[in-house]
Amino acid sequence: MQLLQLHAVDQQILETEQGLRECREELSELSDGVLSLEDGLEQLLSRLQDLRLEARHGERAVEDKHVALIRVQGRVSNVQNERQYSAATLEADLLKSDLRTLENQVLDKLQLVEDTDGRRKEMESTLEEALEQAGPRRKEMAAQQKELEDALAIQNDRRENLALRMEKRALGLYDRIRAGKSEVALAPITDEGVCGYCHTFVTMQQRMEVEQLDRLISCEGCGVILYPSNLAV
């Protein structure tokens, strides 16, 4: 009877531990999702800052080039001879072409800033949504985790108390079976006279001994401790 009680508590402990594992997994998945969004947003913001800086530099270069062009154009109207005239117009043409290139680069950069800023807005609302969704679920899971931890503490206490009152040899055998590959350490002999776990045949002699409850009999097939089917916790 003590072994059966212990077995029942051990099954509860296994179930609670499984629930706790699932709970912790979901909690860590929830924070992983939010964390990766936050990381992505941070990267995007820093990229946006760089792009804006580059655009400002470009605008300044355009202004400088413009000033230079006006200066050269002033020179064109004040030339003394043909040679100075063609030198000044050539320089002005080069500056104009440079200016066009720079202006196009700035426009491209500004377009990139705008696109990136659009992506930032999208990402911010995705993050907001994720936080909104994760918040209540996280609270729920944290409460469930607390509940399971409390239940596990109680179950472990109960197990300890039961184990203390048990005969050491019986407890040792039981623990050894459970430490093996099987979570099941006890099985009833069925009405057909076989082990309730692995269905190995149990001899009449063994069956009588089991029913007398004098000593512990293990199944010859799987090693679990056998008990009469009419015995129940």
**Which one-letter DSSP state was computed for residue 195?**
B
Instruction: Kindly state whether residue 174 participates in binding Zn ion, applying the rule CB under 5 A.
Output: no
What is the separation, in whole angstroms, between the first and last Cα of the chain? 7
Give me the 28-47 binding string for Zn ion, x by CB under 5 A, dash otherwise. --------------------
Shortest separation between residue 199's beta carbon and Zn ion, angstroms: 7
Q: Which is nearer to Zn ion, 148 or 226 (CB)?
A: 226
Q: How far is CA 6 from the centre of its chain?
A: 35
Instruction: Kindly state whether residue 222 participates in binding Zn ion, applying the rule CB under 5 A.
Output: yes
Q: How many residues belong to the site for Zn ion (CB under 5 A)?
A: 7
Candidates 7, 197, 210, 217: give the one binding Zn ion (CB under 5 A): 197
Residue 23 buriedness (CB in 10 A; 0-12 / 13-18 / 19+): buried
Q: Which is nearer to Zn ion, 121 or 215 (CB)?
A: 215
Candidates 19, 33, 40, 221: give the one binding Zn ion (CB under 5 A): 221
130/138 Cα distance (integer angstroms): 11
Candidates 3, 185, 217, 219: give the one binding Zn ion (CB under 5 A): 219
Q: Which is nearer to Zn ion, 11 or 206 (CB)?
A: 206
Candidates 195, 210, 217, 225: give the one binding Zn ion (CB under 5 A): 195
DSSP string, 25-62: HHHHHHHHHHHHHHHHHHHHHHHHHHHHHHHHHHHHHH
Contact 25, 108 (CB under 8 A): no
Q: Which is nearer to Zn ion, 88 or 195 (CB)?
A: 195
Find the angle CA(77)-CA(79)-CA(85) to the nearest 5 degrees.
90
Instruction: Kindly state whether residue 206 participates in binding Zn ion, applying the rule CB under 5 A.
Output: no
Q: Which is nearer to Zn ion, 37 or 185 (CB)?
A: 185
Contact 189, 166 (CB under 8 A): no
Instruction: Kindly state whether residue 198 participates in binding Zn ion, applying the rule CB under 5 A.
Output: yes
Contact 129, 136 (CB under 8 A): no
Contacts with Zn ion by CB under 5 A lie at 195, 197-198, 200, 219, 221-222
